[in-house]
């Protein structure tokens, strides 16, 4: 999402919750959801970006651990299994720039196509393709390299703000875009935000 926002492939606003626990920065990405006209409390839902659950890799010297439910969406107040239906020919070829970036950041080099119904994934007959060549070509593009450097600098900036400028070491950062301009709005939390269950079990006792 951050990479696509920088590359102007996606100009929608979104929110990241940031919490620093010792020297580890936790980021939770949320879709830009608006409160409904009724009095239902505003509760943004985590963005689903892949089928992986947990992976770790180095990005410009930053050690990243990424987790994604990969199979759940939120509809109103209910969580349901995600269903993806598409007939985009670029998805068939595995060359869509938007999705190549998702493959790169998820550390996935195999292009998988199929269908998901009630949590059961069914692979297409020709649904497994190696995307290494497509990813290497995408990596070599000048615009890709420039955007990657910007992603790295923004992640560093978010970490520094959370560490040095926010007493609670927890904040929400809104990434805004309008009229060709982009900016960040930082909202400090009054107290430390609760970590996701899995991370709380791993880091909370240290």
| Contact status, residue 170 vs residue 191, Cβ threshold 8 Å | yes
Handedness of CA 70, 52, 135, 84 (dihedral sign): negative
Contact 28, 16 (CB under 8 A): yes
CB 162 within 8 A of CB 170: yes
pTM over 0.85: no
The tens-digit pLDDT sequence of the chain (206 residues) is 788 788 776 677 888 888 887 777 888 777 654 433 343 333 444 444 444 455 666 677 777 766 655 444 444 444 444 444 444 455 555 456 677 777 777 677 777 777 767 767 777 777 677 878 888 888 888 888 898 888 888 888 888 888 888 888 888 888 888 888 888 888 888 776 666 555 545 555 54
């Amino acid at each position: 999402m951050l990479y696509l926002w920088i590359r102007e492939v996606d100009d929608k606003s979104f929110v990241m919750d940031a919490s620093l626990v010792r020297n580890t920065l936790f980021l939770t990405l949320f879709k830009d959801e608006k409160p409904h006209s009724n009095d239902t409390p505003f509760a943004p839902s985590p963005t689903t970006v892949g089928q992986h659950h947990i992976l770790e890799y180095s990005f410009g010297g930053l050690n990243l651990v990424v987790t994604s439910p990969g199979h759940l969406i939120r509809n109103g107040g209910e969580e349901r299994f995600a269903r993806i239906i598409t007939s985009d020919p670029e998805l068939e070829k595995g060359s869509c720039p938007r999705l190549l970036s998702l493959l790169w950041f998820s550390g996935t080099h195999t292009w998988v196509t199929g269908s998901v119904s009630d949590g059961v994934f069914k692979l297409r007959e020709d649904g497994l393709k190696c995307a290494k060549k497509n990813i290497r070509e995408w990596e070599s593009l000048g615009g890709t390299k420039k955007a990657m450097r910007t992603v790295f600098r923004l992640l560093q900036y978010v970490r520094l703000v959370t560490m040095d400028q926010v007493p609670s070491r927890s904040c929400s950062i809104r990434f805004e875009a309008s009229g060709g301009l982009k900016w960040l709005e930082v909202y400090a939390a009054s107290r430390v935000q609760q970590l996701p269950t899995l991370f709380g079990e791993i880091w909370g006792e240290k």
